[in-house]
Chain A
Amino acid sequence: MSGGFKIPGSIHTPDPFKPGDEGGDFKEIQYATLAMYGVITAVFPGVGIWSVVGYGLTVPADPQVMHRAADGWSAFANGVQAAGTTTKQQHDSVSLASWQAPERELYAQKVTSYAMASNAASDSAHSLSWWLRVAANVWTAYIYWHLLFAARGMVSVIKALLFGPGGRLYEKMRVASQMILAEQKVLQLKKFLFWNALFLLPKLGALWYAKHSLTDGLKNPQYEAGGTRAGTAEV
């Protein structure tokens, strides 16, 4: 596996290249967090069902899978670059004296353009890998942060169970839950929709970037259906 920056999940993270690795290092944490949010919301309705739904929507996310994809991309980038470099070296290693013909010129041009295309593909794969690592680490931080947040609320629920009601957080949540009205519920739904729509914007930006700039080197549109070299195999 290739080295990349990574916030650790569990201690026994399987090697991404091992067969049968389905990911899911963080699933226990994610389900536990969701359960705690559920309990807190059941006790204090003021917290809002929509924060539970919102977190629930993120539970399928798996940073481990993203890290594995990033590993795959960086290995891919290295391999493609090595192929291009090797071709160029092999071409350069044949001395000019041993082959002088117009074909040589043509071949040299092809080798050069192939090496350039390899570098472009490699760069695309490297940056894709980097962005996947960023995304995976942001997700990991998100998961840990919500775990802490849910645990904090859970502690006041348990404290209330054991020692009776009390505490600053308990008071806050109790007051919020007492005056929960229909209007406030609508307001909570509005807030939920607003924030999710807002978070969709950077994701759409990432989609646009991935489609139009990030993966140019990987797509090689010449070979696609309708491209200038569709159905052919030219370097």
Chain B
Amino acid sequence: MSQDEAARIHHLPAIRALGDALTDDVEGTSPVSHLSQASEFPQNMRMGPWAMGVLGWFLAMEHDKIVGYAENTVANTILALHDHRGRLHTVADNMQTVETRNEENVRRL
């Protein structure tokens, strides 16, 4: 572990801040807020089977299905971004643990 220590320069608050910026609106609108805003479709975004005429029912139904796809994708992405924030924090925590241990080793020596 100690041989590649020289290559590692960590600014832990920056990594944590990067994670937080994904989900919280600290510095401007965060990606998560952008996404949750985007997924707030107007009322009746699903147009119902007859909105393109009786003989266009399959198109209108396909459109409503696509709305469902888009909602799913956005919900998944929001979850993933939260996940990412957690992972960045874990990375930062791990680095801190390693550094604390190293310092203890140095002190013991």
Contacts and interface: CB of A to CB of B under 8 A. Distances in A.
A234 B80 contact: yes
Contact of A100 (B9, B28, B39, B42): B9
B73 to A, nearest CB: 4
Interface residues of A, number: 65
A117 B59 CA distance: 25
B53 A65 contact: no
Contact of A203 (B38, B48, B56): B56
Contacts of A72: 41-42, 45
Contact of A206 (B47, B59, B82, B88): B59
Interface residues of B, number: 56
Given A19-B43, A72-B41, A79 B34 contact: yes
B49 to A, nearest CB: 9
Main secondary structure of the interface of B (DSSP, over half): helix
Interface of B: 7-11, 14-15, 18, 21-22, 27-32, 34-35, 37-39, 41-45, 47-48, 50-56, 58-59, 62-63, 66, 69-70, 72-74, 76-77, 79-84, 88, 91, 95
Interface of A: 16-17, 19-23, 57-58, 60-62, 65-66, 68-69, 71-72, 75-76, 78-80, 82-84, 86-87, 90-91, 94-95, 97-101, 103, 107, 110, 114, 121, 125, 128, 132, 135, 139, 196, 199-200, 203-204, 206-207, 210-211, 215, 218-220, 223-224, 233-235
28 contacts: A17-B43, A23-B51, A57-B54, A60-B54, A62-B47, A65-B48, A65-B51, A72-B41, A76-B70, A82-B29, A83-B32, A83-B35, A87-B31, A90-B31, A94-B15, A97-B9, A203-B56, A204-B58, A207-B58, A207-B62, A210-B62, A218-B69, A218-B70, A218-B73, A219-B73, A220-B72, A233-B76, A233-B82
